[in-house]
C-alpha cells in the first residue's frame, strides 16, 4: 500500500492509521483460507467493552473476542505491560529461565488449587498437554490398556486431532476421520452413563464445568461429584477444561469453585493473556510431576511477552474487583432479560456469571445476531436458536441496559 493516511476520531482526538477496508477484504478473500465465514464488519480499534469498525461505527462488544478480552479491549495495564516487555525481551525459548514466566506460574498456583503449570499457546494445546499427562499417568503402574478418555457429548475441546477427538461433535470430527483412538463419550450431566463407561481402563475424564461452544450448559453439581468419585475409584485423572469458564468469567477465578469439585488438571487459555496468545495446563498431585524433561514442550510457550500480558490481566482482575463485578453483572443481565418484554420469545436463559446463553423459541439466532450487529451490539449464535453472550468482566449496568434494549428490539 502506498497510502499513508491517518484518521482522527473527532470525539477523542485519537489518531489511527486509516484502514482501506475494501482492499483488506480483497486480500482476505483472495489469500486467506476460508475457515471462517466472516461478518461484514472490519474492526480497527477497541477500548473497554467497546470496539469501532473501519467506518468509525461503535459497537458494544458482548462477545469479547470469544471470551478472550476479559478485562476489556486495550486495558491500560495490559497495554503498558506489553509495551514495556516488548522493548525489553520478547522471546528467549524455554531453554532459559525468564522471570515473567516464573512469576506467572507462581501467581496462578497462588490463586488456584494446583501445584504446577505447563505453558503453551492456545486452548487446544493446553488440552493436548492434559491428554498427554493423562495417557502417561495411566501407564505409570504398567497397564497397557489404561488409556481411555471419557468426554461429554456437545463438548468443545479444540481443533487439533486429539482435541477434536475429545470434542464429541460429529461435525468437527467427520471430515478428518479416522480420529485418535481411545476416546468415549457420554451425554452431559448423565450420571448413569458416566458410571457405565468409566472403568480400570479409563485414564481421564475430561469435562467443561459449563459447556461453552455447545450453547452454555452448566454442569450439574452431582455430575461433577460423580466424575470426581469415579476418577478416584479407578485411578483416573479428572480434567476440567476451563478455557472458556476460567480467569474470572464465572464470577470466581475458576468455575470449579462454584461446584466444590476440584479436578486434577485444569486447562486455561482464552482470557489468560488478554488477547496475547497463551495457554496453560495446571495440575496437582501426581499429575503435576508426570511430565519430565523431553516429554513435552513448545517453542513460544510462556514467553516473556505473553507472560507479562497474563500477569497484567490477573492484576487488573484483582485490583478492579472484576470477579465480583462479573458475578453482579451476570445476575443483573439475567434479571433484565427476564423482565424485558420478551415473554414467549425466550425458551430458557442459562448462565453462570458472564457466561450467558439465551435459548430462543424460534430458530432465529442468526437473524438476531445480524440485526444486533447492525444496531451496534456484538453477540454470538450457537446453532439455530441459542444466543451466546460473553461480555468483558468490566461491563457496567449501563452497558447491560443498552444490550438488553437492543436485544429486546431485535428479538
Ligand X SMILES: *Cc1c(COP(=O)(O)O)cnc(C)c1O
Cell numbers given for 11? 470525539
In the complex, least distance from residue 126 CB atom to ligand X, rounded to whole angstroms = 8
Among 107, 194, 92, 89, which Cα is nearest to 149's?
194
Q: Which of 104, 120, 124, 278 binds ligand X (CB under 6 A)?
A: 124
Question: What whole-number distance in Å separates Cα of residue 227 and Cα of residue 204?
Answer: 10
Question: What whole-number distance in Å separates Cα of residue 137 and Cα of residue 133?
Answer: 6
In this chain, which stretch among 95-103, 206-214, 254-262, 380-388 interacts with ligand X, using CB under 6 A?
Answer: 206-214
Which amino acids are annotated catalytic? 156, 241, 270
Q: Any contact of residue 118 with ligand X (CB under 6 A)?
A: no
Q: Where on the phi/psi map is residue 316: left (φ > 0), alpha (ψ -120 to 50), or beta?
A: alpha
In the complex, least distance from residue 53 CB atom to ligand X, rounded to whole angstroms = 24
Grouping H, G, I as helix, E, B as strand and the rest as coil, residue 215 is coil
Residues 255-274 that bind ligand X (CB under 6 A): 269-270
Residues annotated in a binding site for N(2)-acetyl-L-ornithine: 159, 298
Q: Any contact of residue 85 with ligand X (CB under 6 A)?
A: no
User: Which of residues 53 and 330 has its CB atom nearest to ligand X in the complex?
Assistant: 330
Q: Any contact of residue 241 with ligand X (CB under 6 A)?
A: yes
User: Which of residues 53 and 128 has its CB atom nearest to ligand X in the complex?
Assistant: 128
Q: Any contact of residue 243 with ligand X (CB under 6 A)?
A: yes
How many alpha carbons fall within 13 Å on the CB side of residue 109? 15
Question: What whole-number distance in Å separates Cα of residue 382 and Cα of residue 395?
Answer: 22
In the complex, least distance from residue 282 CB atom to ligand X, rounded to whole angstroms = 14
In the complex, least distance from residue 70 CB atom to ligand X, rounded to whole angstroms = 13
Cell numbers given for 272? 489468560
Q: Which of 114, 118, 147, 156 binds ligand X (CB under 6 A)?
A: 156
6, containing H or E segment: strand 6-8
**CB count, 10 Å around CB of 15?**
9
Q: Any contact of residue 123 with ligand X (CB under 6 A)?
A: yes
Question: What whole-number distance in Å separates Cα of residue 99 and Cα of residue 175?
Answer: 43
The footprint of ligand X on this chain (CB under 6 A) covers a number of residues equal to 15
Q: Any contact of residue 244 with ligand X (CB under 6 A)?
A: yes
The residues of the shown chain that bind ligand X, judged by CB under 6 A, are: 122-124, 127, 156-158, 208, 212-213, 241, 243-244, 269-270
Amino acid at each position: 500500500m502506498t497510502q499513508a493516511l491517518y484518521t482522527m476520531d473527532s470525539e477523542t482526538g485519537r489518531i489511527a492509521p486509516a484502514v482501506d477496508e475494501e482492499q483488506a477484504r480483497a486480500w482476505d478473500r483472495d489469500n486467506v483460507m476460508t475457515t471462517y465465514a466472516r461478518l461484514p464488519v472490519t474492526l480497527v480499534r477497541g477500548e473497554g467493552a467497546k470496539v469501532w469498525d473501519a467506518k468509525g461505527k461503535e459497537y458494544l462488544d458482548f462477545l469479547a473476542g470469544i471470551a478472550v478480552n476479559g478485562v476489556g479491549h486495550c486495558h491500560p495495564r495490559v497495554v503498558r505491560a506489553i509495551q514495556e516487555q516488548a522493548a525489553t525481551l520478547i522471546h528467549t525459548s524455554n531453554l532459559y529461565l525468564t522471570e515473567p514466566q516464573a512469576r506467572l506460574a507462581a501467581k496462578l498456583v497462588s490463586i488456584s488449587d494446583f501445584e504446577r503449570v505447563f505453558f503453551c499457546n492456545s486452548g487446544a494445546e493446553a488440552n493436548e498437554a492434559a491428554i498427554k499427562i493423562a495417557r502417561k499417568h495411566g501407564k505409570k503402574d504398567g497397564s497397557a490398556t489404561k488409556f481411555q478418555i471419557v468426554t461429554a457429548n456437545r463438548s468443545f475441546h479444540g481443533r487439533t486431532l486429539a482435541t477434536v477427538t475429545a470434542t464429541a461433535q460429529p461435525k468437527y470430527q467427520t471430515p478428518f476421520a479416522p480420529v485418535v483412538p481411545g476416546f468415549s463419550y457420554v451425554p452431559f450431566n448423565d450420571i448413569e452413563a458416566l458410571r457405565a463407561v468409566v472403568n480400570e481402563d479409563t485414564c481421564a475424564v475430561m469435562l467443561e464445568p459449563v459447556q461453552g461452544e455447545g450453547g452454555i450448559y452448566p454442569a450439574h453439581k452431582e455430575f461433577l461429584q460423580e466424575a470426581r468419585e469415579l476418577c478416584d475409584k479407578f485411578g483416573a485423572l479428572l480434567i476440567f477444561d476451563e478455557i472458556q469458564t476460567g480467569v474470572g468469567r464465572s464470577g470466581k477465578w475458576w468455575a470449579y469453585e462454584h461446584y466444590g469439585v476440584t479436578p486434577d488438571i485444569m486447562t486455561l487459555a482464552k482470557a489468560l493473556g488478554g488477547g496475547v496468545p497463551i495457554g496453560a495446563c495446571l495440575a496437582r498431585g501426581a499429575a503435576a510431576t508426570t511430565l519430565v524433561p523431553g516429554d513435552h514442550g513448545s517453542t513460544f510457550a510462556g514467553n516473556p511477552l505473553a507472560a507479562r500480558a497474563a500477569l497484567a490481566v490477573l492484576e487488573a482482575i484483582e485490583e478492579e474487583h472484576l470477579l465480583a463485578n462479573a458475578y453482579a453483572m451476570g445476575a443483573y443481565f439475567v434479571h433484565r432479560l427476564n423482565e424485558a418484554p420478551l415473554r414467549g420469545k425466550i425458551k430458557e436463559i442459562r448462565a453462570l456469571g458472564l457466561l450467558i446463553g439465551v435459548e430462543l423459541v424460534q430458530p432465529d439466532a442468526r437473524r438476531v445476531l445480524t440485526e444486533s450487529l447492525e444496531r451496534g451490539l456484538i453477540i454470538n449464535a450457537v446453532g439455530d436458536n441459542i444466543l451466546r453472550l460473553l461480555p468483558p468482566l468490566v461491563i457496567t449496568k449501563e452497558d447491560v441496559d443498552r444490550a438488553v434494549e437492543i436485544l429486546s428490539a431485535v428479538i
